[in-house]
Amino acid sequence: MSETKLLESMMGEEYKYGFTTDVEYDDFPKGIDEDVIRLLSSIKDEPEWLLDFRLKAFRRWKEMEEPSWFNATYKSPDFENIQYYSSPKDRPEVESLDDIDPKIRETYEKLGIPLEEQKMLAGVAVDAVFDSVSIFTTFKEKLAEAGVIFCSISEAVKKYPELVQKYMGSVVPANDNFYAALNSAVFSDGSFCYVPKDTICPMELSTYFRINNMDSGQFERTLIIAEENSHVSYLEGCTAPMYDQNQLHAAVVELIALDSAEIKYSTIQNWYAGDEDGIGGIFNFVTKRGICKGDNSKISWTQLETGSAVTLKYPSVILKGDNTIGEFYSVAVTNKRQQADTGTKMIHLGKNSKSTIISKGISAGYSNNSYRGQVKISKKADNARNYSQCDSMLIGQTCGAHTFPYIESANPTGQIEHEATTSRVGEDQIFYLQQRGLSEDDAISMIVNGFCKEVLKELPMEFAVEANKLLGIKLEGSVG
């Protein structure tokens, strides 16, 4: 089979999660102004400080310009045509699973995320976010025994206002960038996690995001706080139905690690990517940042980005404490007309801080895949070290791969290493493996999995298998 044919069949692969769920919504009118924000805040019965937070963010947002410095082209979202809040109707306080609309439960089952605790992957607690609101958080009691708080951010605002107020916006300020400001103004829900001192969270925490409604954007916020000497591992997964218009997903994630704490944050992103011609798909414009606030703390981002029409995303770590560690492990797969501009920022402020960046970009079809990363060593960060490795793999002749590293060091004791490679999955490699008996699909899957191995091994065990499968599906070139 020639490379062209291979390419064609790869592009024919189907998106499995593209169905819609027919539920009734409590919707907002489209568009955004201060009244919409006040209404949102009052529906959610929010305290005054949060409304202020939102309004300030909104005023800043109105003054800001939509960014355009990345390596992607698209028609900018019509912000007046987005519904900023969308919640499935008839939603009483959810005390047990029986209170959830059976259609929504069914949706999660179709996605392979059953909410019944007994069916869950052993040791994984799930918060399920459907359009704008959090539907249900499993395993709440078991976590509470360990002192871990895991709930929707709306619930956290009510129950733990002092924690939320203290930390929200402390890592990603409301005016940080255009999309973070928009999120700060209109965020509807998201997950909140607090791990107390000297606690190892007894299970994997996980949030599952699902955009269902055609006109709604999803603006969730996640806030994770790991107190001194605690440890937590968190995973998010995302899917959306197939619509022929673009939907905006502008999330903000903030992580705070205090002395000797460790946060591991993993993402499997499989939003709808649009069709062969680039029609439809999600705009995934998120701001994710963590701060290693205390000494000896560690934050690790692992992401497997396979979906979305356009992805702009740079999960970053501010290494504020001494002896802190920041890690970024990324696999970004683009196919068809997808565009991804993704990478990280490692900001070294503390002494002996260390960061590692391993980025693997795989492009196929007519897609464009860019790595953009910044490593900054400040004056005071003695003996800071960074190692970056950015590898790109091309499948076919019509895709693009780019690497944009930005390196800045203001301290002569800093050590920065950057390595980059580009390779092409060639006919010869596929032929070699086929000659050893593997089918063409299996050959490609093996080559790609081998290429991503260093990153995939960072994913929590429970999800590694899913990740392998997802890569296989994304790049399937059914034998033709």
Partner 1 sequence: MLEIKNLHVIVEEDGTEILKGVNLTVNKGEIHAIMGPNGSGKSTLAKVVAGHPEYEVTEGEILYNGEDILELDPDERAHLGVFLAFQYPVEVPGVTNKILLRESYNTIAESRGREELDPLEFDDYLAKKLELVDQGPEFLDRAVNTGFSGGEKKRNEIFQMAVLEPKLSLLDETDSGLDIDALRIVADGIKKLHGEDDAVVMITHYQRMLNYITPDYVHVMIGGKIVKSGDKDLALQLEEKGYEWLESYASVNGEGK
H helices present in 22-132, as ranges: 34-43, 48-63, 102-110
Inter-residue contact 250 to 284 (CB < 8 Å): no
> In the complex, what is the shortest distance from the CB of residue 450 to partner 1, in angstroms, rounded to a whole number?
3
Q: Applying CB under 8 A, which of residues 25, 449, 468, 473 lies at the interface with partner 1? A: 449
Helix (H, G, I), strand (E, B), or coil: what is residue 19? coil
Inter-residue contact 445 to 477 (CB < 8 Å): no
Comparing CA positions, the residue from 341, 107, 75, 86 lying closest to residue 241 is 107
**Cα within 13 Å of Cα(132), Cβ side:** 25
Considering the complex, state which of residue 196 and residue 472 has its C-beta at the smaller distance from partner 1: 472
Considering the complex, state which of residue 14 and residue 428 has its C-beta at the smaller distance from partner 1: 428
397 contacts partner 1 (rule: CB under 8 A)? no
Q: Which residue has the tokens 């947002």?
A: 61
Rounded Cα gap, residues 221 and 288, in angstroms? 10
> In the complex, what is the shortest distance from the CB of residue 342 to partner 1, in angstroms, rounded to a whole number?
21
Q: Applying CB under 8 A, which of residues 228, 442, 462, 466 lies at the interface with partner 1? A: 442
Considering the complex, state which of residue 155 and residue 476 has its C-beta at the smaller distance from partner 1: 476
H or E segment at 142? helix 140-146
Considering the complex, state which of residue 232 and residue 448 has its C-beta at the smaller distance from partner 1: 448
Residue range at the interface with partner 1 (CB under 8 A); choices 149-157, 247-255, 401-409, 452-460: 452-460
C-alpha distance across the termini of the chain, in Å: 7
420 contacts partner 1 (rule: CB under 8 A)? no
Question: What's the one-letter identity of residue 107?
Answer: T
Residue range at the interface with partner 1 (CB under 8 A); choices 65-73, 155-163, 412-420, 432-440: 432-440
Q: Applying CB under 8 A, which of residues 450, 461, 465, 469 lies at the interface with partner 1? A: 450
> In the complex, what is the shortest distance from the CB of residue 29 to partner 1, in angstroms, rounded to a whole number?
51
Q: Applying CB under 8 A, which of residues 431, 461, 465, 469 lies at the interface with partner 1? A: 431
453 contacts partner 1 (rule: CB under 8 A)? yes
Residue range at the interface with partner 1 (CB under 8 A); choices 119-127, 130-138, 411-419, 450-458: 450-458
Q: Give residues with Cβ within 8 angstroms of 197, minimum separation 6.
A: 227, 228, 229, 230
Q: Applying CB under 8 A, which of residues 7, 149, 444, 447 lies at the interface with partner 1? A: 447
Q: Applying CB under 8 A, which of residues 362, 384, 452, 471 lies at the interface with partner 1? A: 452
Q: Applying CB under 8 A, which of residues 123, 198, 432, 465 lies at the interface with partner 1? A: 432
Considering the complex, state which of residue 2 and residue 118 has its C-beta at the smaller distance from partner 1: 2
Considering the complex, state which of residue 1 and residue 163 has its C-beta at the smaller distance from partner 1: 1
439 contacts partner 1 (rule: CB under 8 A)? yes
Q: At what angle do helices 48-63 and 178-186 cross, to 10 degrees?
A: 150
Q: Applying CB under 8 A, which of residues 34, 52, 408, 427 lies at the interface with partner 1? A: 427
- Judge residue 132's burial from the number of C-beta atoms within 10 Å of its C-beta, 0-12 exposed, 13-18 middle, 19 or more buried: buried
Comparing CA positions, the residue from 456, 114, 450, 473 lying closest to residue 266 is 456
436 contacts partner 1 (rule: CB under 8 A)? yes
Rounded Cα gap, residues 393 and 473, in angstroms? 17
Compute CA distances 377 → 176, 353, 372, whole Å: 20, 9, 17
- Judge residue 472's burial from the number of C-beta atoms within 10 Å of its C-beta, 0-12 exposed, 13-18 middle, 19 or more buried: middle
Inter-residue contact 359 to 330 (CB < 8 Å): yes
Rounded Cα gap, residues 153 and 192, in angstroms? 5
Tell me whether strands 385-394 and 86-88 are parallel, antiparallel or unpaired.
Answer: unpaired
Residue range at the interface with partner 1 (CB under 8 A); choices 13-21, 30-38, 104-112, 421-429: 421-429
Identify residues 460-479 at the interface with partner 1 (CB under 8 A). 479
- Count of residues in contact with partner 1, rule CB under 8 A: 25
Identify residues 113-172 at the interface with partner 1 (CB under 8 A). none
Rounded Cα gap, residues 236 and 207, in angstroms? 5
332 contacts partner 1 (rule: CB under 8 A)? no
435 contacts partner 1 (rule: CB under 8 A)? yes
50 contacts partner 1 (rule: CB under 8 A)? no
Residue range at the interface with partner 1 (CB under 8 A); choices 80-88, 267-275, 313-321, 442-450: 442-450
Q: Applying CB under 8 A, which of residues 205, 433, 444, 475 lies at the interface with partner 1? A: 433
Considering the complex, state which of residue 322 and residue 391 has its C-beta at the smaller distance from partner 1: 391
Residue range at the interface with partner 1 (CB under 8 A); choices 26-34, 49-57, 185-193, 424-432: 424-432
Considering the complex, state which of residue 205 and residue 452 has its C-beta at the smaller distance from partner 1: 452
Q: Torsions phi, psi of 205, nearest 5?
A: -100, 150
What residues make contact with partner 1 under the rule CB under 8 A?
1-2, 427-429, 431-440, 442, 446-447, 449-454, 479
